[in-house]
């Protein structure tokens, strides 16, 4: 029979229960005991949901209070001494590594946290020392949770992160020179021990994740697989069967090192992202090996197309037989919201197209049954699914002929500004009357609690649109006045009307829907609720013109209009899965192009189009796929911005400085001014702008906006000095790293005063 399986389940619970419990615990409002109890309750609830859905293979150890990679760091005792020496309770030591600890005379910052592959989930980076050793914790978490499930009557398949990925995703600690992958020999005995304890507890099979197999791997990492897995399995009867799981990409390019080892029980591959890898992977499987087919999307909210998924699984069954095929989610469901049942406000039509984690668990079970017992056994489900697919494909919501028509008419000229930069800049300089070292900010000013209160009142209907508008105007007046006092050169309106830089635009565009409970974990207790693109996108009316125009009318210096770019709107939403992302990006670009042109017509001559998500959209492997992405991503930015006159200045913003891998794309955006993060990075990163003879203007952030700390004027001058080693004086803008919405006014004013004074100092000097 074909079994169904889930690779991992979201941890938060129906109402973000885990977030609430964690935060209550951190605030000393919940006892340690009660926090641990809540974790136990959630794990049990999630196992039961999957059991009731009919899932055959249910994961355990997919739960984590903060992050599953952090679980491994603690379990293997890869805990830097600054944490271990603090003598904290295990759960507090764990949170100290995840989020820092500043209490009872202990003051340690967190370990570094970075994006998990190309998702918006963040994991804690394993951080190794010279002379690093490992030791398995007593009563290791995977064993404990396996037993916990077993006691509840559910035999699970524990999930652990494999040794090669664990090391390859880590780094040497600050000041250390150790090569993480070089630690493999020391780490393997700990894995052996863990696996044998799992077997002893009764685990027959273990899911061992090696997601780094989708990357182009350095040789050292690549070569680590064979010896590692030869050691971990094979003839060793003390070790459970291993299901090696990969996701978010294809693994064909690494097949030479995926041990053809008879010892591996099976292989899981992502057939949503890379369906074409099926044939080659099947061709490589050993005679007994099982193939787990990831056909239910773990990264998105769409109902699975049963017909297509069944076809894929049937293809595998024909070649391998029913006992060697599993139906699975493409990845962990960690990246999907908990349940569709919580959504009471979605239009019924649209709701019927979606499937969240609880629904996806049912989907894998239905697909497996259809393949095992024949379609007749699940006829109703298949029919309902086919109807939903058909309804979505033909819905007026998804298809807007006017949008398609407009896309047809897009020309290559529409992507180009009228003149090259030097001519544009000459006009902008005169038009905007900017000094050397112009100062500006990135868009948002502090989102005070007063702003949030008024927005809530407005959403709830407690104040009228008119009252709200008045309030927003008064906020804009205030920030304009403050910018007058600070003597900044290019003003912003402060974005008080925006809840979120993507949601705000989504709410004003046709083609989007919003949920009330569809939260997904971003890091630790932080969750995001991405808007969903369901159909062709268009802009029924201007989105930001009113606020910007008002702001410009009361400002004595140029007012910068502020928009979120097409790629960021796309990446920070759940995109459609029925048309290519490039098509959605182009639709967003056309909508934004209209906005840009309208802003210009309203007297806004500096317009910033933020694209912080451009880099995270980069396909995981370099090569053709990456170039392809960059080409349509760049085109969509250019299409959205190129409709203006030469005298209008286009800015863009990125929250990072690492452009080495795709500098050609950044240059190709042809933005007149780029503001980028730089205060926490090395100014050396700016060298790429020199090496590549980048001709346009750049504002590398002169101070960190993530901390309330006020940088002194001297510190900022030192930063500028460093920047001037790389950039020409007439190329340099002076601005903070990013928007100021999470800051308080007090430190914001102080920091900006120092920033403006530093800029003036250089202006005098040059
Ligand atoms: N304009 C946005 C702001 O200032 C940019 C935010 C971002 O880069 N993430 O808030
Ligand atoms: Zn930013």
pLDDT digits 0-9 by tens, 591-614: 999 999 999 999 999 999 999 999
Q: What's the whole-model pTM score?
A: 0.94
Q: What is the per-residue pLDDT for 234?
A: 57
pLDDT digits 0-9 by tens, 393-404: 999 999 999 999
Nearest to 550 by CA among 603, 601, 508: 603
| pLDDT band for position 262 (cuts 50, 70, 90) | low
Of 766 and 331, which is predicted with more confidence?
Answer: 331
Determine which of 67-71, 326-330, 636-640, 762-766 has the lowest per-residue pLDDT on average: 762-766
Q: What is the per-residue pLDDT for 236?
A: 73
Ligand number, closest to the Cα atom of 447? 1
The minimum-distance atom of ligand 1 relative to the CA of 741 is 10
Dist. CA 2 → ligand 2 center (Å): 47
CA distance 371 to 387: 20
CA distance 164 to 173: 18
* Average pLDDT over every residue of 209-221: 96
Of 17 and 661, which is predicted with more confidence?
Answer: 17
Q: What is the per-residue pLDDT for 345?
A: 95
CA distance 541 to 545: 10
ipTM computed for the complex: 0.99
Ligand 1 mutation pick, 607, 739, 740, 741, max ligand atoms within 8 A of CB: 739
pLDDT digits 0-9 by tens, 218-253: 999 999 999 999 899 755 789 999 999 999 999 999
Indicate which residue's Cα is closest to atom 10 of ligand 1.
739
Strand-strand pairing, 157-161 and 59-60: parallel
For the cut 70, the answer to whether the pLDDT of residue 260 exceeds it is no
CA distances from 87 to 80, 99, 322, 737 (A): 13, 17, 52, 36
Ligand 1 mutation pick, 655, 675, 705, 738, max ligand atoms within 8 A of CB: 738
Indicate which residue's Cα is closest to atom 5 of ligand 1.
739
- How many angstroms from the chain centroid is the CA of residue 297? 16
Residues identified as active-site:
706
Please tell me the total number of residues recorded for the chain in this structure.
Answer: 766
Indicate which residue's Cα is closest to atom 3 of ligand 1.
739
Ligand 1 mutation pick, 500, 653, 654, 674, max ligand atoms within 8 A of CB: 653
Indicate which residue's Cα is closest to atom 4 of ligand 1.
739
Ligand number, closest to the Cα atom of 676? 2
For the cut 80, the answer to whether the pLDDT of residue 261 exceeds it is no
pLDDT digits 0-9 by tens, 153-206: 999 999 999 999 999 999 999 899 999 999 999 999 999 999 999 999 999 999
For the chain, the average pLDDT equals 96
Q: Is the dihedral of CA 566, 569, 572, 576 positive or negative?
A: negative
CA distance 46 to 154: 11
Ligand 1 close to Cβ of residue 614 (< 6 A): no
Strand-strand pairing, 113-115 and 122-124: antiparallel
Cα–Cα–Cα angle for 350, 353, 356, nearest 5°? 110
The minimum-distance atom of ligand 1 relative to the CA of 653 is 8
CA distance 527 to 10: 11
Ligand number, closest to the Cα atom of 565? 1
Dist. CA 452 → ligand 1 center (Å): 17
Ligand 1 close to Cβ of residue 501 (< 6 A): yes
Q: What is the per-residue burial (b if ≥16 Cβ within 10 Å, else e) of 341-376?
A: ebbeebeeebbbbbbbbbbbbbbbbbbbbbbbeeee
CA distances from 549 to 238, 476, 543, 758 (A): 71, 11, 12, 30
- How many angstroms from the chain centroid is the CA of residue 399? 28
């Amino acid at each position: 029979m074909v079994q169904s399986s889930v690779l991992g389940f979201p941890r938060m619970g129906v109402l973000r229960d885990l977030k609430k419990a964690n935060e209550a615990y951190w605030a000393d409002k919940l006892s340690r005991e009660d926090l641990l109890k809540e974790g136990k309750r959630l794990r049990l609830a999630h196992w039961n949901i999957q059991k009731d859905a009919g899932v055959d293979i249910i994961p355990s150890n997919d739960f984590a209070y903060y992050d599953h990679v952090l679980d491994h760091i603690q379990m293997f005792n890869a805990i830097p001494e600054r944490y271990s020496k603090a003598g904290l309770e295990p759960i507090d030591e764990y949170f100290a590594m995840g989020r820092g600890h500043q209490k009872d005379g202990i003051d340690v910052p967190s370990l570094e946290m970075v994006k998990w592959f190309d998702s918006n989930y963040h994991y804690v980076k394993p951080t190794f020392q010279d002379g690093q050793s490992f030791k398995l914790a007593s009563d290791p978490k995977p064993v404990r949770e396996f037993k916990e499930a077993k006691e509840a009557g559910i035999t699970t398949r524990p999930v652990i992160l494999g040794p090669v990925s664990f090391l390859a995703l880590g780094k040497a600690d600050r000041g250390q020179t150790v090569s993480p992958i070089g630690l493999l020999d020391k780490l393997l005995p700990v894995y052996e021990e863990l696996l044998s304890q799992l077997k002893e507890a009764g685990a027959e099979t273990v899911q061992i994740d090696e997601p780094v197999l989708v990357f182009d791997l350095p040789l050292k990492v690549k070569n680590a697989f064979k010896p590692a897995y030869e050691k971990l399995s094979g003839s060793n009867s003390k070790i459970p069967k291993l299901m090696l799981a990969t996701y978010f990409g294809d693994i064909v390019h690494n097949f030479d090192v995926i041990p053809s080892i008879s010892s591996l029980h099976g292989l899981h591959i992502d057939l949503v992202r890379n369906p074409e890898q099926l044939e080659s992977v099947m061709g490589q499987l050993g005679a007994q090996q099982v193939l787990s087919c990831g056909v239910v999307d773990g990264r998105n909210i769409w109902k699975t197309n049963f017909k297509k998924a069944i076809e894929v699984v049937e293809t595998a069954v024909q070649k391998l037989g029913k006992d060697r095929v599993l139906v699975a989610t493409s990845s962990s469901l960690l990246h999907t919201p908990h349940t569709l049942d919580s959504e009471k406000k979605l239009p019924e039509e649209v709701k019927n197209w979606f499937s969240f984690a609880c629904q996806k668990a049912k989907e894998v079970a239905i697909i497996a049954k259809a393949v095992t017992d024949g379609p007749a056994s699940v006829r109703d489900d298949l029919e309902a699914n086919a109807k939903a697919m058909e309804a979505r494909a033909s819905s007026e919501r998804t298809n807007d002929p006017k949008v398609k028509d407009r896309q047809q008419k897009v020309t290559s000229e529409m992507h180009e500004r009228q003149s090259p930069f030097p001519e544009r800049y000459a006009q902008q300089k005169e038009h905007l009357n900017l000094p050397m070292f112009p100062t500006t900010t990135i868009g948002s000013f502090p989102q005070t609690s007063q702003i949030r209160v008024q927005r809530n009142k407005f959403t709830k209907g407690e104040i009228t649109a008119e009252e709200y508008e008045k309030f927003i105007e008064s906020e804009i007046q205030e920030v304009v006045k403050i910018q007058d006092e600070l003597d900044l050169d290019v003003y912003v309106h402060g974005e008080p009307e925006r809840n979120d830089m993507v949601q705000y635009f989504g709410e004003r565009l046709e083609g989007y829907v919003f949920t009330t409970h569809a939260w997904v974990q971003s890091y630790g207790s932080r969750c995001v609720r991405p808007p969903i693109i369901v159909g062709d996108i268009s802009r029924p009316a201007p989105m930001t013109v009113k606020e910007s125009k008002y702001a410009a009318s009361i400002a004595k210096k140029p007012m910068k209009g502020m928009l979120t770019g097409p790629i960021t709107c796309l990446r920070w939403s759940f995109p459609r899965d029925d048309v290519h992302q490039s098509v959605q990006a182009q639709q967003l670009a056309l909508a934004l192009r209209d906005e840009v042109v309208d802003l210009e017509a309203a007297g806004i001559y500096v317009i910033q189009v933020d694209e912080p998500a451009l880099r995270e959209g980069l396909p995981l492997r370099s090569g053709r796929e990456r170039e392809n992405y960059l080409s349509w991503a760049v085109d969509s930015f250019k299409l959205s911005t190129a409709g203006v006159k030469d005298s209008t200045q286009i800015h863009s913003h990125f929250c990072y400085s690492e452009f080495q891998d795709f500098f050609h794309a950044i240059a190709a955006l042809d933005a007149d001014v780029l503001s980028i993060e730089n205060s926490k990075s090395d100014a050396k990163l700016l060298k790429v702008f020199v090496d590549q003879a980048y001709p346009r203007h750049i504002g590398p952030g002169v101070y960190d906006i993530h901390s309330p700390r006020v940088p002194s004027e001297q510190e900022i001058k030192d930063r500028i000095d460093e920047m001037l080693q790389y950039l020409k004086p007439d190329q340099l803008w002076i601005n903070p790293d990013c928007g100021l919405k999470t800051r308080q006014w007090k430190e914001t004013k102080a920091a900006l005063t120092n920033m403006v004074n530093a800029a003036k100092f250089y202006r005098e000097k040059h």
